[in-house]
Amino acid sequence: MLHVTRHTLHDNGFTLIEMIITLAILVIMTGVIVTFFIFLYHEQAADIIRIRRINIASHAIKIMSSEIRKMSRAEDGSYTIESASGQTLIFYSDVDNDGLTEKIEYSLSGTNLERKIIEPTGDPYEYTSAETVTVTARDIRNGTDPIFKYYDESYTGSEASLGDPVNVTAIKLIEISLDINSDNNYLTQPFHIETKIHPRNLKEFN
C-alpha cells in the first residue's frame, strides 16, 4: 500500500522565524566586528598622532634649550636678553657656531612657534639686516597661556615666576611650556611638555 508522507516547512529546513532570528544574529555579529575594527583603526590613528606630537615637541624643546643655554651678550654690547614676555623671547646666541652672536626671537604666531634670526653685520656690528623666519613647531595650542616663564636667582622649585613686565637682568632660569595637538579629530587633549633651562652665561652679568 502506498503511503504518502507530508513534510512541513520545519521538516525541510528553517522556519521563517528561525531565518529571521539567524539573520538578526548575523547582523549583530557583523556590527560588532565592524565596530571593533573601527575602534582599532581610531586607536592606531591616535597612537600615530601621539607619537607625532611627542616628536614635534621634543624637537622644538631640544633646539630652543640649546640656543637659550648658550645665550650671551650681543656683538654690539647689548645685554644677553633683549625682551622677555609670556609668548615672546628675544635674546642673543651663537646658534650657527660661527663665533658671532645672532639675534634670536621666538614668538607665537597663530598656532606656529616662529624663530626669527638676524645676523650681525657691519663695522661696528649692528643687527639691521633682514631676518630669517622659520617655524620651530606647528599646532601649538597654548592659546593665551605663556610659552615662557622666568625666574630669578631665588627660585628653589616652588616660587612664582617673575611678573610682567619682566626685568630681564633678573632672569636666571627660563621655563618653556608647550601644548601641542596636531589633530583634534582623534585627540581632544593636547600633549604637554615643559623644561627649565639655566642659561650658563647669565651669572657673569650680576
pLDDT at residue 98 is higher than 70: yes
- The per-residue pLDDT for 138 is 87
- Cα 170 from chain centroid (whole Å): 28
Please provide residue 169's backbone torsions phi and psi, each rounded to the nearest 5 degrees. Answer: -75, -15
pLDDT, tens digit, 9 for 90 and up, residues 130-171: 999 999 998 898 999 999 999 999 999 889 999 999 999 999
- The per-residue pLDDT for 72 is 95
Question: How many residues does the structure list for the chain?
Answer: 206
19 pLDDT band, cuts 50/70/90, is confident
Please provide residue 56's backbone torsions phi and psi, each rounded to the nearest 5 degrees. Answer: -60, -50
Tell me whether strands 148-151 and 132-137 are parallel, antiparallel or unpaired.
Answer: unpaired
- The per-residue pLDDT for 18 is 79
- The per-residue pLDDT for 185 is 60
CA nearest neighbour of 104 among 118, 121, 120: 118
Mark 127-143 as b/e (b = at least 16 C-beta within 10 Å).
Answer: beeeeeeeebbebbbbe
CA torsion 131-132-137-142 (nearest 10°) is: 10
- The per-residue pLDDT for 20 is 83
Percent of the chain residues topping a pLDDT of 90: 56
Spatial separation of the C-alpha atoms in residues 187 and 123, rounded to whole Å: 52
* Least confident range of 3-12, 151-160, 173-182: 3-12
For residues 194 and 30, the model is more confident at 194
Cell numbers 630681564 label which residue?
168
pLDDT, tens digit, 9 for 90 and up, residues 46-55: 667 677 777 8
For residues 38 and 135, the model is more confident at 135
Q: Where are the domains of the chain?
A: 44-205
The whole model's pTM is what?
Answer: 0.75
pLDDT at residue 39 is higher than 60: yes
33 pLDDT band, cuts 50/70/90, is confident
pLDDT at residue 2 is higher than 60: no
Question: Are residues 137 and 106 in contact, defined by beta-carbon separation less than 8 angstroms?
Answer: no
Long-range contacts of 149-156 (CB under 8 A, 24+ apart): 149/86, 149/174, 149/175, 149/177, 150/84, 150/174, 150/175, 151/175, 151/196
pLDDT at residue 206 is higher than 50: no
